[in-house]
């Protein structure tokens, strides 16, 4: 048999995975003078038989002889060395090849695999984005894992779009892809995926929700019973009724002052949560309460702090601690009531609450709903966000504050002078609706409702924080002239508060309202129209509007919302009158009265502590309101 015949025969055997037979065919022509082609075929045969290290050596030899295929053979050698556990050889070859083709995702994959083992995470970080351009499932899965720590990277959307096509039946990939599509304003993707999921839910397939993250579910689910089924909570340790009973009954030393511990990773003064909470922390009565903040804030954000932290309370860093160590730190300070300010949101520390950290544990502010799987005795809300009918859908007992569950800081919040429409590039002579909610809240249903409003108010325009290249076509598909849609970009907080005053009326999002965004609008003097929702997250704006004294801006449903918003747009002077009401109420109504809010919150903590101190189990309760203020609080 000639050399060429043996080569052709070996190729045929390799194609049918008869590796041993292929090697036997090649054996007579394996000599010191073997061609690059023969050496590469031997390498493939050995690799198929599991002799990866030997195969790698043959591919290295083939690379040395080849001109056109040298790169491919060397890369194959590196892959086989890595598979054989010869990391040093694989790294050496891959680094050499990286000089030739730095964009090659296969090299990035190999080097990341090695650098993760050696702990060289900066090098991992430098290489991870090179995986994004690959079409290889393994590469994309690695990219998805590495990019999880950077959820705002646009690469995530690219990676999950590819994974969705490769694994169409994987529900985790499906929901994650949908989440990134929401962030990126890929409205056509969102509309298609959401419609398909809703159709499955309508057929009774609620099991798919176990792959949806609880916080993501708030964005699009209107049913509190279904929200409880969104159970993708990562590696959260489980708690049981027995472990909960033991926690409540554990020996505890109560003091004269109630020791409150707040747990958060958002403890810097420019974070949205602290623009709400900061002044309340400063108002705590130190004669009656001892305040500790257990801080898991990433170091990169602490550098943004402008000094506000110093007035909030004693800060104990738990950023480098695991849950067990954090629990020990909390127990060491004798915390009576431990408050979770995060729930199922980014960088949470919910696992601490499923240990034995404190006799009373409370969910508040960060997660607008029931934090499934987290051992909290109470959830703090109000009569709007937590109506009686919602109780069956919460494992936490209701603690309802009298005016609103949301605190607001009138001291640190800026209120610069308004910016003109001309300076913002906006039309001067039209009624201008606005929305500055996060892009993920722009659900298909929200866009449908807003389009109806714009049709009923045909002279009005909409100013919206979204990507213009996708939001304009989304409204065009709904029959709205794209020229009436004005995209807004993100900007610094002070600039944002200055610009929103140029609008006439803000439109809320559904089923997840604006939360801090709504209070920002009201603080800036921009009225907000909302409608009654079916979930905590969908009732927040109703709560805030009642607390600022504008309950008439809460519509009864979709038709009522469209009618109310369009009527204001068609009624000259109505928006100005509402803005004047906001100006009058800013320092009179309860919404921005942080000292009053703090007294109500402290009353709630006293009730919780008194029950626990007396050995009584937690029970739902409402906090009575203080008498109304006679004048302004500032």
Q: What confidence score (pLDDT) does residue 309 get?
A: 76
Both 219 and 125 in one domain: the answer is no
Residue 597 lies in a domain: no
Average pLDDT, integer, range 100-125: 97
Q: pLDDT per residue over 521-552, tens digit each?
A: 999 999 999 999 999 999 999 999 999 999 99
Residue 334 lies in a domain: yes
Cα dist from 455 to 452, 467, 531, 559, 595, whole Å: 5, 22, 19, 13, 43
What CA–CA distance (Å, rounded) separates 455 from 138? 48
Domain of residue 503, CATH code: 3.40.50.2000
Average pLDDT, integer, range 212-229: 97
Domain of residue 310, CATH code: 3.40.50.11380
What CA–CA distance (Å, rounded) separates 603 from 201? 42
Q: Where are the alpha helices (DSSP H) in 28-69?
A: 36-48, 52-65
* Of the candidates 49, 133, 123, 47, the residue with the CA atom closest to the CA atom of residue 91: 123
Average pLDDT, integer, range 253-263: 98
Mean pLDDT across the chain: 96
Q: What confidence score (pLDDT) does residue 376 get?
A: 98
Three-state DSSP state, 401: strand
Q: What confidence score (pLDDT) does residue 512 get?
A: 99
Instruction: Please say whether the beta carbons of 306 and 274 come within 8 A.
Output: no
Both 109 and 252 in one domain: the answer is no
Instruction: Please say whether the beta carbons of 6 and 28 come within 8 A.
Output: yes
Instruction: Please say whether the beta carbons of 337 and 618 come within 8 A.
Output: no
Residue 270 pLDDT > 90, yes or no? no
Both 164 and 260 in one domain: the answer is no
Both 339 and 217 in one domain: the answer is no
Strand-by-strand arrangement of the 337-340 sheet? 314-317, 289-295, 258-264, 337-340, 360-363, 378-382, 397-401, 621-622
Both 262 and 192 in one domain: the answer is no
Number of Cβ within 10 Å of residue 397's Cβ equals: 17
User: Which range in 147-161, 165-179, 228-242 is most confidently predicted, on average pLDDT?
Assistant: 165-179
Residue 517 lies in a domain: yes
Residue 458 pLDDT > 90, yes or no? yes
Both 180 and 256 in one domain: the answer is no
Instruction: Please say whether the beta carbons of 294 and 267 come within 8 A.
Output: no
**Which tokens sit at 227?**
């929200």
Domain of residue 32, CATH code: 1.25.40.10
Both 220 and 200 in one domain: the answer is yes
Residue 300 pLDDT > 90, yes or no? no
Both 167 and 139 in one domain: the answer is no
Both 119 and 166 in one domain: the answer is no
Q: Which residue, 89, 118, 147, sits at the end of a domain?
A: 147
What CA–CA distance (Å, rounded) separates 107 from 139? 10
Residue 618 lies in a domain: no
Residue 397 lies in a domain: yes
DSSP 8-state class, residue 418: P
Average pLDDT, integer, range 41-63: 97
Average pLDDT, integer, range 199-222: 97
Q: What confidence score (pLDDT) does residue 303 get?
A: 61
Q: What confidence score (pLDDT) does residue 326 get?
A: 98
Instruction: Please say whether the beta carbons of 561 and 492 come within 8 A.
Output: no
Average pLDDT, integer, range 344-351: 94
What CA–CA distance (Å, rounded) separates 364 from 273? 11
What CA–CA distance (Å, rounded) separates 112 from 132? 13
Q: pLDDT per residue over 195-207, tens digit each?
A: 999 999 999 999 9
**Which tokens sit at 588?**
């009179």
Both 520 and 448 in one domain: the answer is yes
Instruction: Please say whether the beta carbons of 272 and 490 come within 8 A.
Output: no
Both 270 and 386 in one domain: the answer is yes
Both 337 and 445 in one domain: the answer is no
Q: Which residue, 147, 169, 185, sits at the end of a domain?
A: 147
Number of Cβ within 10 Å of residue 161's Cβ equals: 17
Q: What confidence score (pLDDT) does residue 413 get?
A: 86
The strand pairing partners of 44, in sequence order, are: none
Q: Which residue, 176, 198, 227, sits at the end of a domain?
A: 227
Residue 306 pLDDT > 70, yes or no? no
Strand-by-strand arrangement of the 461-465 sheet? 485-488, 461-465, 432-435, 505-507, 528-531, 554-555
Q: What confidence score (pLDDT) does residue 311 get?
A: 86
Q: What confidence score (pLDDT) does residue 299 get?
A: 80
Identify whether 479 is preceded by a cis peptide bond (ω within 30 of 0). Answer: no
Residue 620 lies in a domain: no
Q: What confidence score (pLDDT) does residue 149 get?
A: 79
What CA–CA distance (Å, rounded) separates 80 from 57? 9
What CA–CA distance (Å, rounded) separates 185 from 439? 6
Average pLDDT, integer, range 377-387: 99
Residue 183 lies in a domain: yes
Q: pLDDT per residue over 55-108, tens digit each?
A: 999 999 999 998 899 999 999 999 999 999 999 999 999 999 999 999 999 999
Q: What confidence score (pLDDT) does residue 235 get?
A: 80
For residue 216, give its domain range: 155-227
Q: How confident is the model at residue 307 (pLDDT cuts 50, 70, 90)?
A: low
Q: What confidence score (pLDDT) does residue 412 get?
A: 82
Residue 308 pLDDT > 90, yes or no? no
Domain count, the chain: 4
Residue 163 lies in a domain: yes
Instruction: Please say whether the beta carbons of 631 and 596 come within 8 A.
Output: no
Average pLDDT, integer, range 183-187: 93
């Amino acid at each position: 048999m000639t050399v060429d015949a043996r080569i052709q025969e070996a190729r045929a055997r390799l194609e049918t995975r008869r590796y041993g037979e292929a090697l036997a065919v090649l054996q007579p022509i394996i000599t010191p003078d073997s061609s690059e082609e023969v050496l590469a075929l031997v390498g493939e045969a050995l690799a198929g038989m599991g002799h990866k290290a030997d195969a790698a050596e043959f591919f290295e030899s083939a690379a040395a002889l080849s001109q056109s295929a040298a790169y491919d053979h060397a890369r194959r050698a590196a892959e086989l060395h890595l598979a054989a556990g010869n990391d040093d050889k694989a790294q050496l070859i891959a680094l050499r090849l990286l000089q030739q083709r730095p964009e090659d995702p296969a090299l990035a994959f190999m080097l990341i695999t090695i650098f993760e083992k050696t702990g060289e995470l900066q090098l991992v970080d430098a290489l991870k984005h090179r995986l994004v351009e690959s079409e290889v499932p393994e590469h994309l899965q690695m990219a998805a894992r590495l990019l999880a720590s950077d959820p705002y990277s646009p690469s995530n959307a690219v990676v999950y779009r590819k994974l969705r096509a490769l694994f169409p039946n994987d529900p985790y990939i499906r929901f994650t892809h949908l989440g990134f599509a929401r962030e990126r304003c890929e409205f056509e993707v969102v509309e298609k995926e959401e419609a398909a999921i809703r159709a499955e839910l309508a057929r009774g397939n609620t099991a798919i929700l176990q792959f949806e993250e609880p916080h993501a579910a708030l964005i699009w689910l209107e049913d509190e019973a279904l929200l409880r089924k969104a159970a993708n909570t990562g590696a959260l340790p489980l708690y049981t009724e027995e472990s909960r009973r033991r926690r409540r009954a554990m020996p505890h030393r109560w003091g004269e002052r109630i020791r409150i511990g707040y747990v958060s990773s958002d403890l810097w003064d420019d974070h949205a949560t602290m623009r709400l909470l900061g002044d309340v922390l400063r108002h705590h009565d130190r004669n009656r309460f001892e305040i500790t903040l257990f801080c898991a804030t990433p170091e990169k954000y602490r550098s943004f702090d402008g000094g506000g932290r110093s007035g909030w309370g004693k800060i104990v860093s738990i950023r480098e601690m695991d849950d067990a160590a954090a629990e020990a730190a909390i127990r060491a300070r004798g915390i009576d009531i431990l408050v979770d300010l995060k729930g199922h949101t980014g960088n949470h520390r919910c696992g601490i609450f499923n240990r034995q950290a404190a006799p009373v544990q409370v969910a508040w502010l960060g997660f607008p709903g029931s934090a499934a799987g987290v051992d909290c005795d109470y959830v703090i809300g109000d009569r709007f966000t937590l109506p009686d009918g919602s109780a069956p859908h919460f494992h936490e007992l209701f603690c309802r504050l009298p005016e609103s569950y949301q605190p607001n800081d009138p001291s640190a919040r800026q209120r610069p002078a308004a910016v003109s429409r001309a300076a913002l590039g906006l039309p001067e002579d039209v009624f201008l609706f606005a929305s500055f909610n996060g892009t993920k809240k722009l659900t298909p249903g929200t866009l449908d409702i807003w389009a109806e409003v714009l049709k009923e108010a045909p002279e009005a325009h909409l100013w919206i924080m979204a990507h213009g290249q996708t939001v304009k076509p989304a409204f065009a598909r709904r029959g709205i002239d794209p020229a009436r849609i004005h995209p807004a970009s993100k900007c610094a907080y002070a600039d944002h508060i200055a610009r929103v005053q140029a609008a006439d009326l803000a439109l809320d999002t559904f089923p997840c309202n604006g939360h801090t965004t709504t209070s920002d609008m009201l603080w800036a003097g921009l009225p907000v129209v909302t409608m009654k929702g079916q979930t905590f997250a969908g009732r927040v704006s109703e709560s805030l509007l009642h607390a600022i004294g504008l309950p008439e801006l809460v519509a009864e449903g979709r038709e009522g919302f469209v009618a109310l918003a369009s009527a204001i747009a068609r009624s000259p002077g109505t928006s100005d009158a509402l803005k004047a009401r906001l100006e009058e109420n800013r320092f009179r109504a309860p919404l921005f009265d942080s000292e009053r809010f703090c007294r109500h919150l402290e009353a709630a903590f006293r009730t919780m502590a008194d029950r626990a101190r007396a050995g009584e189990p937690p029970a739902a309760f409402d906090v009575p309101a203080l008498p109304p203020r006679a004048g302004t609080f500032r």
